[in-house]
Amino acid sequence: MDRRDFLKAAAVTGVAFSLKMSGGMDILAQTVKSKATASKTADLVAVMGGEPDAMFKKAIAEVGGMGKFVKKGQKVVVKPNIGWDKTPELAANTNPKLVAEIIKQCFSAGAKEVVVFDHTCDNWIKCYENSGIKKAAEAAGAKVVPGNNESDYKPIKLPQGKKLKESTLHQAIIDCDVWINVPILKHHGGANMSIAMKNLMGICWDRRIFHDVDLHQCIADYCTLDKKAVLNVVDGYRLLKANGPQGKTAADVVESKALFLSQDIVAVDTAATKFFGQVREMPLENVGYLADGQALQLGTMNVDGLNVKRIKM
């Protein structure tokens, strides 16, 4: 997308933020329309233009602080995307600075323990190390556990699912009091987008059935599990615009410096997809699991009806 086309896209819904993407080009990045008021806690927060940790600090304050979601003595899981043997600059995995800040805030809120894991696609040891997440998470005080042992996944029922009626769930999620979903915003060759809803595929064992049956519906069905994330934090500091979910070269990456946060998993994915759509065309109807999730009453695609707070740093 060239500058002229991007500006046209950004102008579609009104107010925009100015920020700088990789290559030094100044562009406008449109977030969703907001009905936010100063007196009401935000339903969805979009932060633009800062570093990952600083953007999270701004966002969590707008929803009442981490203490609203994590209580003293609780066991917490922070679940990033660590699926690929890639460095942070290639935007296949969640930014380690964001993961570290979330962990720190969980402990500040009184968490007894914070666990980090993912069911990786590449070798889990290389993914954990080269993503920078293992080092950052452990430095922040978290326990980093593997996600590659089938015995750690227990069978669960999904009675609300339309096509996926049963699956598995990692023991860390089963054992925790609350968990926080921290995906990166990126293109995906099969699902078109990989954000918060799809990030849940990293807490189950056998993902093949998702692809074999109906990827979009199964993503939505799995999100009906009883133990839902208390927060969904979408890392848009760098976004992978092509060749996802792992990318090929730095040319696939845009330094977009954004973050989206909400308890509503459908809304946060909808907002993030709209943002992504300004870099590369991505109609919401092409991300079928959004509508499937809304149909299952997991959340709303009508972000205009929410109290959305936009912050420019």
Element (H, E) at 138: helix 133-139
Task: Please tell me whether the peptide bond between 245 and the residue prior to it is cis, using omega within 30 degrees of 0.
Answer: yes
Quick one: fold of 3-312? Rossmann fold (3.40.50)
3-class SS at 252? helix
Give the CB-side neighbour count of residue 279, counting CA atoms within 13 A: 27
pLDDT of residue 40: 77
| pTM (predicted TM-score) | 0.90
Q: What is the mean pLDDT of each run of 10 residues along the chain (313 residues)?
A: 37 34 34 46 96 98 97 98 98 98 98 98 98 98 97 98 98 98 97 98 95 96 97 98 95 97 98 97 97 98 96 96
DSSP notation for 5-72: HHHHHHTTTS--EEEE-TTS-EEEE--------TTS--SEEEEESS-HHHHHHHHHHHTT-GGGT--T
pLDDT of residue 34: 42
pLDDT of residue 28: 32
pLDDT of residue 311: 97
